[in-house]
Amino acid sequence: MANVRLEDIKRRFNNVTAIEDITFEVPDGEFWVLVGPSGCGKSTILRTIAGLETATSGKLYIGDTLMNDIPARQRDVAMVFQNYALYPHMTVAENIAFGLQMRQVDRKIIRERVETVARSLSLENLLDRKPKQLSGGQQQRVALGRAIARQPQVFLLDEPLSNLDAQLRDDTRAELKQLHAQLGVTTVYVTHDQVEAMTLADKIVVLNRGKIQQIGAPQEVYAHPANQMIATFLGNPPMNIMPAIYTNQGFQIGEQHIFCPIEIQQKLNLAPGKPVDLGIRPECIYVNELLSSQNNTRDSLLTTHLKVVEPLGREILIKGNVPGTSVLLNAQVSPNVNLRVGDRLSLQLDLDCLFVF
Ligand code: ADP
């Protein structure tokens, strides 16, 4: 096993810079996830680590070895792709064994390793089948099995779950996490799915337009996003963003004004008249049922017109129009309130959770 270090990696395709200023180090045994919208450069970074892409400049180390000029097959990394890339004419057992045969590993060791890997991925009963006789989930487990059997220093996974249906994706995600806990192999995982990133990663690297936006533990990045792109990318439903103007008492949002306690104003330290984007997560908004009697909370109330009411069992997702703006505010509220589309609703914002961009 080994750490993976990228120093100022850049990759240009003709005149287009796909990635630049890419610097991070995945410590030995950790599971890091590269996440960001399509086209932000995730796969290019992963393929550069694998040796399938050559960096235009910068340095890549696996362990202490500079890898820039070392061909892919000598890098001791195993990559798993979205489309499984299994050999169709080989059985499951042959597919899992393939990488070991190429390395001329002893046949007895290969047989033992295939059996162990098959057991850990519940593939024991499928070893004689061909890929086309398997479901998508099973095929992906074989692709993982092939990577695991090689016992590489580093796993590189490129959207490995995105061809699976929702239930299977959740199950396989949990299996992947268990597998990593068991094997402890340094892993770099690419996804555009923020749920996968949040649930799997020791650390996430958020990318946008070929550059790193933020690196941190998932919860840390969720709680302290460095910018608006990250704030709205992580979280489902996403963080609400409302254009507002800072007054010297709070914020004007469309036709309404919300007052901010002095401590929060001091923390924000804004100049009156400054236009800002206010961010608030859907779980930090509550339905205010007792508007007239709750004087202590009246300051942070916002009136909305309900456009969408979606009962989700444990909670209700509502979307409300904020008068004087084009904002459709998302909120996740208690299922005990009886709400209908068209209601005029007073919502309370938890101002401790307010972000200002
Ligand atoms: P992601 O994996 O985040 O979707 P990619 O790493 O695949 O993003 O792509 C990053 C950028 O680099 C995109 O703008 C893409 O069009 C460009 N790109 C990737 N590979 C090539 C290539 N072989 N030739 C030209 N442009 C490429």
CATH number, position 351: 2.40.50.140
CA distance 125 to 105: 24
Residue 67 Cα to ligand 1 midpoint, Å, equals 21
Is residue 57 scored above 60 in pLDDT? Answer: yes
CA distance 77 to 155: 6
Query: What three-state secondary structure class fits 98?
Result: helix
Which one of 205, 227, 249 terminates a domain? 227
Residue 233: inside a domain, yes or no?
Answer: no
Measured by CA distance, the residue closest to atom 16 of ligand 1 is 39
Residue 206: inside a domain, yes or no?
Answer: yes
Residue 18 Cα to ligand 1 midpoint, Å, equals 6
Which of 305, 290, 309 shows the shortest CA–CA distance to 348? 290
Ligand 1 closest atom vs CA 37: 3
Residue 57: inside a domain, yes or no?
Answer: yes
Asked if residue 89 and residue 159 are part of one domain, the reply reads yes
Q: Taking all residues of the chain, what is their mean pLDDT, rounded to a whole number?
A: 92
Residue 196: inside a domain, yes or no?
Answer: yes
Ligand 1 closest atom vs CA 46: 6
CATH code where residue 163 lies: 3.40.50.300
Which one of 197, 227, 257 terminates a domain? 227
Residue 121: inside a domain, yes or no?
Answer: yes
Average pLDDT over residues 328-349: 89
Asked if residue 105 and residue 217 are part of one domain, the reply reads yes
Pick from 6, 11, 15, 16 the residue to mutate for probing ligand 1's pocket: most ligand atoms within 8 Å of its CB: 16
Average pLDDT over residues 277-294: 75
Residue 213: inside a domain, yes or no?
Answer: yes
Residue 62 Cα to ligand 1 midpoint, Å, equals 23
| Residue list, ligand 1 pocket, CB within 6 Å | 13, 16, 18, 36, 38-44
CA dihedral 10, 3, 173, 157 (to 10 degrees): 40
Asked if residue 274 and residue 344 are part of one domain, the reply reads yes
Residue 232: inside a domain, yes or no?
Answer: no
Kindly indicate the confidence band of residue 299, based on its pLDDT and cuts at 50, 70 and 90: low
Which one of 227, 252, 275 terminates a domain? 227
Q: Summarize pLDDT for 23-50 with one digit per residue, the tens.
A: 999 999 999 999 999 999 999 999 999 9
Average pLDDT over residues 3-28: 97
Asked if residue 277 and residue 139 are part of one domain, the reply reads no
Asked if residue 117 and residue 44 are part of one domain, the reply reads yes
Pick from 22, 33, 44 the residue to mutate for probing ligand 1's pocket: most ligand atoms within 8 Å of its CB: 44
* Secondary structure element (H or E) that encloses residue 156, with its range: strand 154-158
Residue 332: inside a domain, yes or no?
Answer: yes
Q: Summarize pLDDT for 163-205 with one digit per residue, the tens.
A: 888 888 888 898 899 989 999 999 999 999 999 999 999 999 9
Domain extent at residue 317:
240-356
Asked if residue 346 and residue 252 are part of one domain, the reply reads yes
Asked if residue 185 and residue 288 are part of one domain, the reply reads no
Residue 35 Cα to ligand 1 midpoint, Å, equals 14
CA distance 145 to 95: 9
Asked if residue 203 and residue 135 are part of one domain, the reply reads yes
Ligand 1 closest atom vs CA 41: 6
Q: What is the predicted pLDDT for the residue at 294?
A: 43
Q: Do 188 and 154 form a contact (C-beta atoms < 8 A)?
A: yes
Dump strand ranges (E) for 36-98.
Answer: 57-62, 65-66, 77-80
Residue 41 Cα to ligand 1 midpoint, Å, equals 6
Domain total of the chain = 2
Q: What is the predicted pLDDT for the residue at 292?
A: 39
Residue 289 Cα to ligand 1 midpoint, Å, equals 50
- How much of the chain exceeds pLDDT 70, in percent? 97
Kindly indicate the confidence band of residue 296, based on its pLDDT and cuts at 50, 70 and 90: very low
